[in-house]
Amino acid sequence: MLNFKTIIIFTVFFTNSLNLFAADLTIEHVANAGVKISSGEKTVLVDALFPPHKRFNSLNDENFSELTMQGADVIMATHTHSDHFGVSRVSTFLKKNTKSLFIGTPQTLKKLEGKADTYQLTSESLAAFQSKLFSHHNINVDALNFPHGDPEAHSKTQNYAFLIEVNGWKVLHIGDGGLNSERIEGLKLADRSIDVALVHDRCLRQDDCAERMKQMNVGKVVFIHMTDDRIKPVSEWIKANLHNATILVTGHESISISR
């Protein structure tokens, strides 16, 4: 296993869940926005397989090899940016884990053409407030069209959020998606019984970030995708504005949640 230096344990009781005896949910920080989500014997990776990066925390080759050996049922990439997705690492992971399924945007699949077996790759063209449900190894993944939060600079970049359901838990990862009231309402996020939302710390630049978090009606908010110098200001913002939130950053921290 990876060397997780800090473990934060939360015990949460969700009255809106029908599954009261689910295995614990563990979310481990891999690098930047990359996370490993586990419950029972099920494991998924989101935005975790990208090459070393100059700006953001990333895995070295040794840690990547270790993560590849651990495997995962499903791996996902929210978009093609180099701090979320890398062709070489995704294709290498899939070749070593032939039962794994990759779910991404059509743009990520285009980059993987000829680099991985087609039976391990899937996507769907989504627009407006569309979504597409995928199932693999008793894990459900709802891909949601969730445009990039910097539309002027990345208007041509497809960004999908993923709502992952594993052992009765629901975890939302929005990648670099921009959070606003229209997107939350259009995708009916408040009605989806989300246990944990993984959100880019860019949200904190919005005056209404705390309001948007509450609008989503999630059990817990976890901020990801930040450089080390952002840890202190983000922590202070959480203390002042959103007490049930936390962060996953450098040092391979993890959170565990029980019912």
Instruction: Report which of 147, 106, 150, 103 is spatially closest to residue 129, judged by C-alpha positions.
Output: 147
> Is there a domain that residue 1 lies in?
no
In the predicted model, residues of the chain with pLDDT beneath 70 are: 1-22, 151-153, 251-252
pLDDT of residue 7: 45
Are 77 and 84 contacting, i.e. CB atoms less than 8 angstroms apart? yes
**CATH code of residue 92:** 3.60.15.10
pLDDT of residue 1: 46
Range of the domain at 78: 7-258
Compute the distance between CA of residue 231 and CA of residue 225 in angstroms, rounded to an integer: 10
> Is there a domain that residue 252 lies in?
yes
CA 43 to chain centre: 12
Residue 218 CB: number of other CB atoms within 10 A? 24
pLDDT tens per residue, range 134-191: 999 999 999 999 999 776 667 789 999 999 999 999 999 999 999 999 999 999 999 9
> Is there a domain that residue 2 lies in?
no
pLDDT of residue 22: 60
pLDDT of residue 6: 45
pLDDT of residue 194: 98
pLDDT of residue 252: 65
Are 78 and 159 contacting, i.e. CB atoms less than 8 angstroms apart? yes
pLDDT of residue 187: 98
pLDDT of residue 95: 98
Helix (H, G, I), strand (E, B) or coil at 220: strand
> Is there a domain that residue 130 lies in?
yes
Are 47 and 35 contacting, i.e. CB atoms less than 8 angstroms apart? yes
pLDDT of residue 11: 45
Residue with tokens 């490993």: 36
pLDDT of residue 9: 46
> Is there a domain that residue 172 lies in?
yes
Indicate the number of domains in the chain.
Answer: 1
